[in-house]
Amino acid sequence: MKIDFKQKLEKRKERDWCRRIRAAIVLEAATLLALLVLLISENGVPSGQAVTVTGDGYIKWVDFNVSYEALCKAYTYDVESYEQKIHLDWIELLAYVAAKNGGDFDSGAVRELGKIAEQITGGETTMEEATKDLKYYPYYKEAYTAVLGGLVGEYEIQETEGGPYVKKYGLKGFSPVAKGFEYSDDDDFGVSREYGYRRQHLGHDMMGQIGSPVVAVESGYVEAIGWNQYGGWRIGIRSFDGKRYYYYAHLRQNYPYQENLKQGDTVTAGEVIGYMGHTGYSSKENVNNIDSVHLHFGLQLIFDESQKEGNNEIWVDCYNLTRFLYKNRSEVYKVEGSKEWKRKLDMREVEANAIKSKEIESEETE
């Protein structure tokens, strides 16, 4: 999709305006949090305890501005300190920097990460001690845990096809597009869309080729599958903790999904779930009304079920997140004589494996 300089400038202006509005909302929410933390502290609860933002008891908005460089650095500290005497939690590191800088991640953010990491591993301080006077730390920790909570941890994966499973710790979330299928993208979150009605683009577009395998970023349940007037053939996957709803839209005409995939199924991170296309913008099913072939990838945060649909939805900018997830791309192979692609190296997670085992047992007893 060709965009000239004037169009890019207009996109940037519109995106900056949207971010200023969101920043104002976050500031207001953070102020409410500070008052709540103060009230709780006076009643004997430590001010560093993670609490929610409003009187309704849950966070109303998250402006996820963490840079790609900060994500990479915090992740490296986490993985390299795993099983060490002091394990650095990457989400806590990022929340610390956000609390100190009002959610901004400028060029000094990585230095800030390095400084606090050295102080903690060197025994000069602890995260509790370093954050006790940071009023907004509980908010950022809860918010960033909602965004990143399912992406790093322990898992088992095959290192060779059909080989034994090896236990590992690290990035267990995957890029939404399978390895070997390249795409182009830009930070297009918040720009306008006009089909149906004027609205903001609350996702991230990844431009590629028809049929490129789309994979599950995180393990979870298939919560939605089928036709949507705006998203075309789409899949919605909910994380096991219920905090994240991953939205994959504009899937391929005629053959959008992995064979037999249905609502309620459990999927494992890195598993092929569908195929890139350009369906949507039509009340009639199976129509290609999108100009360019791409995956619309969205991430919605849910702190309360009332936020799932309606005016209180929280969608976050996934541009830097997808850049980060590019580090881990699921390798796939073509199933001979079919339109299907499958992952080459199987992965197991404790929770996903247990749930799938129960599903198999249930099917066998029916």
> How many domains would you assign to the chain?
2
CA 10 to chain centre: 27
Task: Assess whether 117 and 186 both reside in one domain.
Answer: no
Place of tokens 């390249």: 182
Residues in a beta bridge with 165: 158
Average pLDDT of the residues in 344-364: 69
Task: Assess whether 268 and 311 both reside in one domain.
Answer: yes
Average pLDDT of the residues in 32-61: 47
pLDDT band at 195 (very low <50, low <70, confident <90, very high): low
Better-scored residue on pLDDT, 247 or 360: 247
pLDDT for 273: 98
Half-sphere exposure of 314 (CA within 13 A, CB side): 23
Task: Assess whether 142 and 169 both reside in one domain.
Answer: no
- Rounded to two decimals, what is the model's pTM? 0.83
Asked if residue 34 has pLDDT above 60, the reply is no
Better-scored residue on pLDDT, 49 or 188: 188
Owning domain of residue 111: 5-148
Task: Assess whether 172 and 119 both reside in one domain.
Answer: no
Asked if residue 103 has pLDDT above 70, the reply is yes
Query: Chain-wide mean pLDDT for the chain?
Result: 85
Task: Assess whether 197 and 107 both reside in one domain.
Answer: no
CA distances, 365 to each of 353, 354, 359, 360 (Å): 19, 17, 10, 9
Task: Assess whether 246 and 210 both reside in one domain.
Answer: yes
Task: Assess whether 272 and 296 both reside in one domain.
Answer: yes
Which residue, 121, 148, 175, sits at the end of a domain? 148
pLDDT band at 117 (very low <50, low <70, confident <90, very high): very high
Task: Assess whether 181 and 310 both reside in one domain.
Answer: yes
Task: Assess whether 195 and 136 both reside in one domain.
Answer: no
Dihedrals phi, psi of 231, to nearest 5 degrees: -90, -5
pLDDT for 57: 84
Dihedrals phi, psi of 171, to nearest 5 degrees: -75, 110
CATH number of the domain where residue 224 is located: 2.70.70.10
pLDDT for 189: 79
pLDDT for 43: 31
Which helix (H) or strand (E) element contains residue 185? strand 184-185
Task: Assess whether 198 and 132 both reside in one domain.
Answer: no
Q: Quote the Cα angle for 164-168-170, to 5°.
A: 145
Distance CA 325, CA 94 (A): 17
Which residue, 86, 117, 148, sits at the end of a domain? 148
Which residue, 127, 148, 169, sits at the end of a domain? 148
Task: Assess whether 128 and 194 both reside in one domain.
Answer: no
Asked if residue 292 has pLDDT above 60, the reply is yes
Task: Assess whether 93 and 139 both reside in one domain.
Answer: yes
